Amino acid sequence: MFKHNPADKQLSLTDPYLSYSQYVQEALLKSWAETFLKTIFVNIDEERFALLYSEKASRPNAAVNVLIGLLILKELNNWSDIETIASLYFDYRVQYALGITDFEKERICVNTLGNFRSRLYQFNEEEGRDLLAEEIASLNQKIIDFTEMDTSFLRQDSMMISSNAKKMGRLELIYTVNANMVKLFRAHDLSLLPPSFKHYGQEKDKADHVYRVNKEEVEQKTLELLKESVELYNSTPEELKHTEEFKALERLIGEQINQDQTPKKNKEIPADSLQNPSEPDATYRCKGNKSYNGYVMNLVEAYDRAKNLSLIVYHELQPNVVSDVELGLNALEELTEGQTLVSDGAYFSQKMVEKAAEKEVNLSFSALSGRSVAEETLGADQFLIDPETELILACPGGNVPLKAERDHEKETYKARFAKEDCASCPLKERCIIKEQVKSNLVTFTDKQLTIAIYRTLLGTAEHQALGDFRAGVEGVPSVLRRRYRIDELPVRGLIRSRIWDNLKIMAYNFSSVHRYLQRNRVAALSWLNFLRYLSRLFPEKAAVGVTVGG
């Protein structure tokens, strides 16, 4: 049964805070605990999580806002679950940060944290709704409102995140999937298992089939193991076809075997194929001459230059075969009119440009991928195009075409120019026009036109400054790896990984806003001390209430 835990409770008469001396109380109010209480804890919306609990009269849940706060603090300090509970019991700052005024009523055991994460996972699995991600987005907005942060300028980057599972070669993968099914058969009904599979229970069998196989034997051994996979598939009774082991076997066969029952070549196996049966959501990707097995996270960071405050306002975790183009389109959905998003060239696509124009969001790219173009070559954007008819009206040299066409289906622009006009044009050597028998032809696609426009913009001072601005986000993945250990998740699977990553992103943002508030507090104290110093120098002005700075 869901029970609300009010965040604005009064201190009890037995609260340790009341027994502390004034300087200890002041130290507490200057610490991270006060910042956490004001920016995070009091803003947690418990009602959002009422769906996780039964509506029937039963034992009430542990305070949801306390659990979420604890999980964020856990990631902030790299605590284990046991260390988190120990900190709750023995560190008053943790109790204060979580609004606990009567600790005897708020006791939580270590299993409560794991059970809460399991509830989040189960609800997401069944309903397709990530409650924790929704709450993190809400908390970020509350922080933005609290600090009056300007989020007009955004920068995005993606990072590869390693899977918490062993990277398997093809032979080991096939053997492991088969061995898991054999184990399932033995637990269910050993008599259903074909006699030829008894070798899976022998000592050193895996070494003989995987690790001790010579290079010239790999192809034959792969064929033998895949034949066993098909035989296991055909022998599986209906009552076992709902299991994870069978689903992995079924997926393996579909990804590794051709329709003519021959094994696929390595290059024919898709990148999103099964990499490890214990981590079915992880995928394989090569990027920058380096191979990755796991996930990709897209990050959008807002930076307020005046306040020197940055926050990750949007993040998304996907299998690493999802391209930056698709991730960028998803991020663009969350942006609003007037914002400026700066990305690198890997995010560029015609769809992204069109969607940004539709949402009235400004786009900038620090570079553009693809073939480089000679600086002296005139781009497609130098041709004059009628905004209504979308026909080419003139070339960069001012010549009018003999004929112009616009093909919306093929998304192309075409125009023919008189040969004598081109022959006398001073821009002929730089033009993208192609000479033909009767006339000269220029043709380019919508994408080529858009790229040309952005290439021209890259040379402007404004976009060069935005390119420098985007470089700041490239340090975020390093912080997430070193401080928050985002590559060392103790869980497997996309949904479970998202739960942990949501909490790590919130911990990162809290750390950022706490540093900002600390800077402001120090600056305010320095100014106050300066005023006090001036009042001692000019006591007569202070006595009559004259403002020192007036």
Burial class (CB in 10 A: 0-12, 13-18, 19+), 114: exposed
Q: pLDDT by residue (tens digit) across 129-181?
A: 999 999 999 999 999 999 999 999 999 999 999 888 888 889 999 999 999 99
Strand partners, 413: 406, 444
**Token pair of 112, please?**
């409560």
257 DSSP assignment = B
Which phi and psi (to 5°) does residue 242 adopt?
-95, -5
- Compute the average pLDDT of residues 42-53: 93
* pLDDT tens digits, one per residue of 236-258: 999 999 999 999 999 999 999 99
Place of tokens 């305070």: 63
Give the CA dihedral 454, 458, 463, 468, nearest 10 degrees.
130
**Rounded to whole angstroms, how far apart are CA atoms 391 and 405?**
6
Q: How confident is the model at residue 539 (pLDDT cuts 50, 70, 90)?
A: low
Domain boundaries along the sequence of the chain: 1-128, 170-274, 380-453
Q: What is the pLDDT of residue 42?
A: 93
Question: CB atoms < 10 A from the CB of 110, how many?
Answer: 15
Helix (H) or strand (E) holding 374: none
The mean per-residue pLDDT over the stretch 275-282 comes to 90
Q: Which of 356, 338, 361, 360 is nearest to 150 (CA)?
A: 338
Type of residue found at 440: N
Residue 538: band (very low, low, confident or very high) from pLDDT cuts 50, 70, 90: low
Give the pLDDT mean for 178-185: 92
In one letter, which amino acid is 332? L
Segments in 2-58 forming alpha helices (H)? 22-29, 32-39
% of the chain beyond a pLDDT of 70: 92
Mean pLDDT, the chain, integer = 87
**pLDDT tens digit sequence for 389-427:** 999 999 999 999 999 999 999 889 999 999 999 988 989
Whether the per-residue pLDDT at 348 is higher than 70: the answer is yes
Is 549 buried (19+), middle (13-18) or exposed (0-12) by CB count in 10 A?
A: exposed
Q: Is the Cβ–Cβ distance between 354 and 334 less than 8 Å?
A: no
One-letter amino acid at 123 equals F
Beta bridge mates, 384: 394
